[in-house]
């Protein structure tokens, strides 16, 4: 399988979607993604540090600052996993605000619950929910974030519409996700790292090379910066801006609900 399978390639058959580079029935993808994250949940945080050499903390810090959460606001952290963003949002929103962490995967929610408790973060509801069908009232959050989660969603357009629906007028959605390197040389180096070293690290640390091979493939199949910007606009978000980091390996997209 080519390491450069183009992002956004249409599924080969009707009723199919991509699980990494593999074309699978749409109904099957969610189960297979669940298997990946159930497998890696216990080693998720340490693998994030190892895979990114700790740089994921800088990426998340930038997204947190860009979110601009203020005291008293309601914040939804979608696919929040182990709660890296949730912890900071809880501090920023303060006792007058509310932060809710959601994830579709029960094992990841359990890790998030443990991580929040270990750091003394209390009063944060954890909700098992599908980003495509969020179980919250319309116009109920000032800020919604999804960090390194959108590429794993089966129907990304539905998820973007669902998150936009839950925003208050004037509220903002931030999507932090892997994207497309902006230089050809960086892209080649990144391919070698992703497809050679990531599975090896996954095998050594998490005893699961296949899940980290899927990670590399899912990044390549995720929409690039401009495509995702267009998808957010199609979902009804306005003033969508793109902020590249690390040469475009990662990007933050921010859009607002203005209707």
Has residue 194 been placed in a domain? no
Has residue 20 been placed in a domain? yes
Residue whose entry in the numeric block shows the structure tokens 């391919």: 191
List the Cα angle 61/79/69 in 5-degree steps: 40
Can you tell me the distance from the alpha carbon of 3 to that of 1, in angstroms, rounded to the nearest whole number?
6
Taking Cα atoms as reference points, which of 123, 112, 181, 194 lies closest to residue 149? 112
10 assigned binding-site residue: no
Has residue 64 been placed in a domain? yes
**Per-residue pLDDT tens digits for 152-188:** 999 999 999 999 999 999 999 999 999 999 999 999 9
49 assigned binding-site residue: no
Q: Which residues contact 108 (CB under 8 A, 6 or more apart)?
A: 37, 41, 44, 81, 82
Has residue 188 been placed in a domain? no
Has residue 170 been placed in a domain? yes
Taking Cα atoms as reference points, which of 178, 192, 193 lies closest to residue 245? 178
218 assigned binding-site residue: no
Has residue 29 been placed in a domain? yes
Domain that holds residue 250: 16-181+223-256
CATH code at position 86: 3.40.50.150
63 assigned binding-site residue: no
**Per-residue pLDDT tens digits for 91-140:** 999 999 999 999 999 999 999 999 999 999 999 999 999 999 999 999 99
Percentage above 90 pLDDT, the chain: 70
The whole-model pTM stands at: 0.90
82 assigned binding-site residue: yes
Has residue 196 been placed in a domain? no
Has residue 206 been placed in a domain? no
Q: How many domains does the chain have?
A: 1
């Amino acid at each position: 399988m080519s390491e450069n399978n183009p992002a956004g390639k249409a599924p080969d058959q009707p009723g199919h979607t991509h699980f990494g580079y593999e074309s699978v029935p749409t109904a099957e993808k969610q189960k297979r993604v669940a298997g990946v994250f159930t497998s890696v949940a216990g080693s998720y945080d340490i693998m994030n540090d190892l895979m990114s050499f700790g740089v994921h903390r800088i990426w998340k810090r930038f997204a947190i600052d860009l979110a601009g959460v203020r005291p008293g606001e309601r914040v939804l952290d979608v696919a929040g996993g182990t709660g890296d963003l949730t912890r900071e949002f809880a501090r920023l929103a303060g006792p007058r605000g509310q932060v809710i962490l959601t994830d579709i995967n029960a094992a990841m929610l359990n890790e998030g619950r443990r991580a929040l408790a270990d750091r003394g973060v209390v009063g944060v509801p954890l909700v098992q929910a599908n980003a495509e069908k969020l179980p919250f009232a319309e116009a109920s959050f000032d800020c919604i974030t999804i960090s390194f989660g959108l590429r794993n969603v089966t129907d990304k357009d539905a998820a973007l519409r669902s998150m936009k629906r839950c925003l208050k007028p004037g509220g903002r959605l931030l999507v932090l996700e892997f994207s497309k390197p902006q230089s050809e040389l960086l892209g080649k180096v990144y391919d070698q790292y992703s497809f050679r070293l990531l599975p090896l690290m996954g095998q050594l640390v998490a005893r699961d090379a296949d899940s980290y091979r899927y990670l590399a493939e899912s990044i390549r199949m995720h929409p690039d910066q401009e495509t995702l910007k267009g998808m957010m606009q199609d979902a009804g978000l306005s003033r969508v801006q793109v902020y590249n980091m690390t040469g475009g390996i990662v990007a933050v997209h921010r859009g607002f609900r203005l209707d």
